[in-house]
Structure 1
Amino acid sequence: MNQKNSELGNNTDSQDKIENQKEDTRPVCGLIMPIADKDGYPIGHWKEVKKIITSVAEEAGFRTRLVSESEDVRVIQKTIVQNVFDDDIIICDVSSKNPNVMFELGLRFAFDKAAVIIKDDETGYSFDTSPVEHINYRKDLRFSSIEQFKKDLFAKLKATFEKSKEANHSMYLQDFGKFVIKELDTKTVSENQYILEKLIEMQKEIKNISNANLKNAKKEEFIIKGDSRAEIKDLVKSLYIRYSNEGIDYSKSRLADLISITMEENYKIEISSRTIIRYIEQFIAEQRN
């Protein structure tokens, strides 16, 4: 008997694993909303709002996530734009008129795809989006009012999604004029090319960090007496070595421009890029000898 129960338990576990491994084919409901705590709202407020929205969307049959979430490791701005374009429907909370939220909602409207706008009762309407229906909820998230809000959101979500599936139907742009919707370009790349693109992105990020560190670093003490060419050349050489050690393959002209800008901003010394290139060539010749 125990053996049969054990076998039954194993079969149940295996079935559960198979079910969990099945691809989630539900339509995706992306969330555009504030995330970080903000003055005028209690700590954890947006987490509570997200729970409420998610519960409604899940009940309506959607797989729900923030538009910034992705299974791939990629630049977050690319993830957001791609998800704003791809998601089957969007719920956007414009409460507090967060600039990032308003920008992402603008993108969704530009793509002319389904979106449901919500806001708390203390946030005013924005001029450009006011013609589109907003579903209001109490900022204090009082239980009785939130229960009604959830019913209204559920109905609006289902109706908007069904409307979006109608062929050749414009969701919003028809109210503002005639437009041709720009599709996002998609391309298939090899694994090596993808890795190379990621490395290039990382290299750019490292360069930006290096430049920021250089700008904020303590200025080196160079005592320049008048137009002392030797001391200026030493300063150019020091900056040349610093930039060269960053591991970025700068061209001579780009390297000269960076050194010229650094000298002007940090040391109040103006020197032409052509002169700097001549100094660099002298340094390279000295190293070879």
Structure 2
Amino acid sequence: MATEKSKAEPKTAAAELEDPALTICGVIMPISTTVNFSEAHWERIQTLLHRGIRLAGFQPTNVWVNDQRDRVSERIIGNIFTHEIVVADISDLNPNVMFELGLRLASKRPTVVVMNKGGQIPFDIRDFHVLQYPSDMNILDMEAFYLDLSETLINKHNSFKSKDYRPFLDGVIVEVTSPSTREVTGVEAVLTRLDQVSARLSGIENTQKAIAKTPTPSTMYSVFDANRRLNSEASTLDLYSINQLNRSASAAAASASSAHQGPVMSSAAAAAERAITEGVALNPKRFID
């Protein structure tokens, strides 16, 4: 992913011709110096690509442009997955471009790949239709490229809008999900926390007992380590926190008694009391004022 500096928008006359009424066509391409081309070269290529996109009736916008997001990476990924159509220039196989193209193909939205004539097409996308423009940007050859690019953009976008578009990863299932949250009641939170505390103590105790049944020289260190872990776990049990859990469980038991949840909450309170008792027995100094 490119940095803010490397993704600065070049000041060109074309940048002043924005029309918000047009459908946006995103542009993925290098903008700074690459292995074989200078930054000035890419500024010229950008101007030419934008011109060809406008010829097709779209609004060209580089994928890193979005005034509503401060983080450049968030702008790029957001635009890659939301723009209806995108042009990607893979000349010089720039790593940022290839990564962004991969994300775009995963979106299963229309993508037009272009590159300079004589460039190398990676094996993974060798069967993808790639439009080539003249490396020397000869004006006559560029006119032919404009027409080819314009026709391809229009055809792909029309097929996408009519639900006839067949994406590059048509047979691959790609799901884009967002993290979700779930609200829980106070009762659930208390019971979950008590279960976690009880499970940690029980697991270490069981390990200690199992090892102690065969006290050979090779297992003595394991017994010692189990004791150390047990005391370490006990020392992390903050008496104040456990008391808080106990009080919460007791309060929940009282309020839930009318709803016949008393036995469940009594068990929760008993678990909290057991955690306190075991914690004090294992490490009394931890809980003495």
Give the TM-score of the pair, scaled to structure 2.
0.53
1:124 is aligned to 120
Q: Is the 8 A contact 2:110 2:165 kept in 1?
A: no
Question: Matched residues in 1 for 2:65 and 2:179: separation?
Answer: 20
- Runs (5+) with no aligned partner, structure 1: 1-19, 188-289
Alignment of 1:1-289 (within 5 A): 24-167=20-163, 169-174=165-170, 177-182=171-176
**Match of 2:92, as an amino acid?**
S
Shift of 1:129: 1.1
Question: Matched residues in 2 for 1:161 and 1:49: separation?
Answer: 23
Shift of 1:37: 2.1
1:42-80 deviation digits (Å, cap 9, x = unpaired):
551111111111111112111111100112242111110
Question: Matched residues in 2 for 1:167 and 1:157: separation?
Answer: 15
Shift of 1:161: 0.8
1:266 is aligned to none
Shift of 1:25: 2.5
What SS does the aligned partner of 2:87 have? strand
Question: Matched residues in 1 for 2:180 and 2:84: separation?
Answer: 18
Question: Matched residues in 1 for 2:27 and 2:158: separation?
Answer: 18
> 1:98 and 1:23, CA in 2 relative to 1: closer, same or farther beyond 3 A?
closer
Q: How many residue pairs align between the two structures?
A: 165
Question: Matched residues in 1 for 2:37 and 2:172: separation?
Answer: 40
> 1:157 and 1:184, CA in 2 relative to 1: closer, same or farther beyond 3 A?
farther
1:192 is aligned to none
Give the TM-score of the pair, scaled to structure 1.
0.53
**Match of 2:22, as an amino acid?**
R
- Runs (5+) with no aligned partner, structure 2: 1-15, 182-289
**Match of 2:76, as an amino acid?**
I
2:7 is aligned to none
> 1:102 and 1:110, CA in 2 relative to 1: closer, same or farther beyond 3 A?
same
> 1:185 and 1:60, CA in 2 relative to 1: closer, same or farther beyond 3 A?
farther
Q: Is the 8 A contact 1:112 1:181 kept in 2?
A: no
> 1:65 and 1:184, CA in 2 relative to 1: closer, same or farther beyond 3 A?
farther
Shift of 1:114: 0.6
What SS does the aligned partner of 2:123 have? coil
Question: Matched residues in 1 for 2:19 and 2:163: separation?
Answer: 27
RMSD: 2.5
Shift of 1:157: 0.8
1:260 is aligned to none
| Bigger Rg, which one | 2
Question: Matched residues in 1 for 2:147 and 2:180: separation?
Answer: 38
**Match of 2:175, as an amino acid?**
I
1:3 is aligned to none
1:4-38 deviation digits (Å, cap 9, x = unpaired):
xxxxxxxxxxxxxxxx9x98231110000010023
Question: Matched residues in 2 for 1:186 and 1:164: separation?
Answer: 30
Question: Matched residues in 2 for 1:68 and 1:77: separation?
Answer: 8
> 1:36 and 1:58, CA in 2 relative to 1: closer, same or farther beyond 3 A?
same
Question: Matched residues in 2 for 1:48 and 1:23: separation?
Answer: 21
> 1:185 and 1:140, CA in 2 relative to 1: closer, same or farther beyond 3 A?
farther
Q: Is the 8 A contact 1:164 1:171 kept in 2?
A: no
1:258 is aligned to none
Segment drifting more, 56-65 vs 165-174: 165-174
**Match of 1:101, as an amino acid?**
V
Give the ranges of 4+ consecutive aligned residues of structure 1 lying more than 3 Å apart after TM superposition: 183-187
> 1:158 and 1:184, CA in 2 relative to 1: closer, same or farther beyond 3 A?
farther
Shift of 1:142: 1.2
